[in-house]
Amino acid sequence: MNRATQLAFVAVLLLAACGTSGTSMPTPVVSASEIQQLSAEADAFAERYMALWPDVDAYAAVYAEEVIGADPTGRDSDGGKQAWLNMWVAWERLTDYTIDVTGTFISADGAAYKQLWRGLWPTDVGFPVEGERDPDGMSYFETFAFAGGKVVVSDVWWYPKDNERVGFGCFAVDGCPALQETVDLYISAWTARDSDAIAALYSDDGSFTDSLFGHEATGPESVGALGDKRFGSTGDLTIEVLDLFSWTDGYGQPSDQDPHHGELLGVTIHYCATINGNGAKYVQEAVTTLELGHRYVTDDLYTHVDIDPEGLIHREVVYHEPVSLLVAAEAGA
């Protein structure tokens, strides 16, 4: 079975779970063949990359020399391949786990993966030390940007329920209500296609990128103007949240010296958007990463995210599930 046939077959299963398709609105800016190619490349990368662990040298070989990334739950991220190599050597000594990909999403120049890391954590503590490993593992979401066949950016997002279970950040204190508040405001504003409510979610330098549908905007008003374009201007729109991942400002708790420690810094929303109109139904399954702070990279590639005191979005990037994207492309052809 070739790749195109596989995608068409899986589309039937996906649309049975997430809705059915029958209208061409809105339409990707890439063709069906380009989507198939991007999907095949994302699958090949995942199969090659995830299988390399714990061969640290081979794992590092897929990264560019000046790779950067963010894992704010770990507080900050060192940059450059050598720093990442040093980190992986330490992890390899402390852990013995496998990586299973449970979901794949694509953009024009990157890919994102839902992952289950089995055996990562001990069963009774919240940090990787020697001890009996949890066979259920922990769930993560990882995004990649590629250039020249190498990873140039890699960000890691954590599963809120796992954060709560091991006592990380705001989830250890009160379940982090800011997470649900952020998600509720976001879903409400976009579902209503309310340009003012959408604009109010973003900082002055806030950006929105959905490369496969050709949406790119910077600034609240510009992002708000996408309110009747991202999901089309007509039809009854519903957005179902399928899963969530998060960043916190470190895994510790707030203190007098560091009151922002552990606060929410970002949210990834896995969603299914459905548009009903004129007897037809359009479905879009995707994930979007919301950075609730300003990210900066130092000259030595050290990456840090400064929390936004109002919880506004500074950067948003959308990745699409390949099958629903392919259906949309073929419907609009």
Tell whether omega for the bond before 54 is within 30 degrees of 0, i.e. cis: yes
* Phi, psi (degrees; rounded to nearest 5) at 274: -125, 130
Q: Is pLDDT at 139 greater than 50 in this prediction? A: yes
Which amino acid is located at 154 in the chain?
S
Let me know the angle formed at the C-alpha of 223 by 217 and 228, rounded to the nearest 5 degrees: 115
Arch. (CATH architecture) of 3-332: Roll (3.10)
> What is the pLDDT, as a whole number, of residue 282?
87
CB 295 within 8 A of CB 186: no
Helix (H, G, I), strand (E, B) or coil at 325: helix
Say how far apart CA 155 and CA 145 lie, in whole Å. Answer: 9
Which residue in the block uniquely carries the two structure tokens 């995830």? 50
- Give every CB contact of residue 311 below 8 A, 6+ residues apart in sequence: 178, 181, 182, 264, 292
- What does the alpha-carbon distance between residue 230 and residue 25 come to, in Å, rounded to a whole number? 10
Three-state DSSP state, 256 = coil
The pLDDT tens digits of the residues spanning 77-99 come to 778 888 888 888 877 776 667 78
- pLDDT tens track for 143-196: 999 999 899 999 999 999 888 887 889 998 888 999 999 999 999 999 999 999
Q: What is the pLDDT of residue 262?
A: 92
pLDDT given at position 29: 96
Six token digits for residue 240: 């179902």
Per the model's pLDDT, the better-predicted residue between 98 and 297 turns out to be 297
As beta bridge partners, residue 202 has 313
Confidence band of 18 (pLDDT split at 50, 70, 90): low
Residues in the chain: 333
- For residue 139, give the nearest of 246, 49, 53, 30 by alpha carbon: 246
Q: How confident is the model at residue 12 (pLDDT cuts 50, 70, 90)?
A: very low
Query: Largest Cα–Cα distance of the chain, in whole Å?
Result: 60
Phi first, then psi: give them for residue 89, nearest 5 degrees: -60, -45
pLDDT at 254: 78
Average pLDDT, the chain: 86
pLDDT the model gives residue 93: 72
The structure's pTM equals: 0.90
Backbone torsions φ then ψ of 273, nearest 5 degrees: -100, 130
Instruction: Please report the pLDDT score of residue 79 as a whole number.
Output: 86
Quickly count: other Cβ atoms within 10 Å of residue 292's Cβ: 27
322-332 and 3-18 helices, crossing angle to 10°: 100
Tokens read off for 274: 């459905």
